[in-house]
Amino acid sequence: MSKPKAVVLLSGGMDSATTAAIASSRGFEVVALSFRYGQRHVVELDAARRIAEQLQLARHLVLDIDLGAIGGSALTAQTAVPKDTPVEEIGHRIPPTYVPARNTIFLAFALAVAEVVGAEDIFIGANALDYSGYPDCRPEYFQAFQRLVDLATRAGTEEGRRIRINAPLLELTKASIIERGLALGVDYGMTVSCYDPSPQGTACGHCDACLLRLKGFRESGIEDPAHYQTAGR
């Protein structure tokens, strides 16, 4: 009997790698989906490829879309990435690293892939606890997108087949995510979380993503295997 299929959004970061491992552990044949979307650095795509290989995912698609032509984010334009924000203040505002409508765009593509390959599940590694304050990472956002999925697909309207949006990390802390991933064999040394890495993929250690990642590893009592540009972080 063939495995059910799932589409997993795989950015190359810690959360998406954990999500891919969770989907695989649940018995899905995973189609990983990454994007070359005009982001300032593409080292995360190299990380996504490594993760897909390490987890032995069935397929890895990389699609090209140009959100850089729109701009509006420190990740797609030459805008400074915030550094050294007090950890307790991260998530209280929408930061410059927010990419307008990114999750909506990515999920729309994932939905198209799911319809074509016959997947009934889409997984995304969004997190609403230890996160950067993005509005498209909140539970109510995913509830709304699920309603859209139910209305907008042939699977839902003609075939009676619901495509489910899964966000298994949504209400977990970074420490809990790390512990879950390690239990599933995720190699976090392969992942790239940093918003402003070097061309070689070395993390800055000071952006919101690095600070939240480091906080999670500290709380887990585990050393972060990522390489950082500065010591004493």
Question: What pLDDT sits at residue 37?
Answer: 96
Confidence band, pLDDT 50/70/90 cuts, at residue 56: very high
Average pLDDT for residues 23-43, to the nearest whole number?
Answer: 95
Average pLDDT for residues 204-209, to the nearest whole number?
Answer: 95
Q: Is 215 within 8 Å of 89 (Cβ atoms)?
A: no
Confidence band, pLDDT 50/70/90 cuts, at residue 233: very low
Question: What pLDDT sits at residue 20?
Answer: 98
Q: What is the per-residue pLDDT across 77-119, written as a single tens digit (0 to 9) for each?
A: 988 999 999 988 888 889 999 999 999 999 999 999 999 999 9
64 forms beta bridges with: 36
Confidence band, pLDDT 50/70/90 cuts, at residue 170: very high
Where is average pLDDT lowest: 30-39, 106-115, 150-159, 181-190? 150-159
Question: What pLDDT sits at residue 232?
Answer: 41
Confidence band, pLDDT 50/70/90 cuts, at residue 129: confident
User: Is the pLDDT reported for residue 230 higher than 80?
Assistant: no
Where is average pLDDT lowest: 33-37, 50-54, 128-132? 128-132
**What letter would DSSP give residue 83?**
B
Q: How far apart are the first and last CA of the chain?
A: 50
Q: Is 206 within 8 Å of 171 (Cβ atoms)?
A: no
Where is average pLDDT lowest: 88-92, 96-100, 152-156, 228-232? 228-232
User: Is the pLDDT reported for residue 231 higher than 70?
Assistant: no
Question: What pLDDT sits at residue 2?
Answer: 86
Average pLDDT for residues 198-210, to the nearest whole number?
Answer: 92
Instruction: Transcribe the chain into DSSP letters.
Output: -PPPEEEEE--SSHHHHHHHHHHHHTT-EEEEEEEE-S-S--HHHHHHHHHHHHTT-SEEEEEE--GGGT--STTTSS-PPPB---GGGTTSS--TT--TTHHHHHHHHHHHHHHHHT--EEE----SSSS---GGGSHHHHHHHHHHHHHH-HHHHTS--PPEEE-TTTT--HHHHHHHHHHTT--GGG----SS--TT--B-S-BHHHHHHHHHHHHHT----S-BSSS--
Q: What is the per-residue pLDDT across 62-75, written as a single tens digit (0 to 9) for each?
A: 999 999 999 999 99
Confidence band, pLDDT 50/70/90 cuts, at residue 153: confident
Place of tokens 């970061």: 13
Decide: residue 2, CB within 10 A, 0-12 exposed, 13-18 middle, 19+ buried: exposed
User: What tokens were used for 73?
Assistant: 């984010």
What domains does the chain contain, in order, with CATH numbers?
Answer: 5-220 (3.40.50.620)
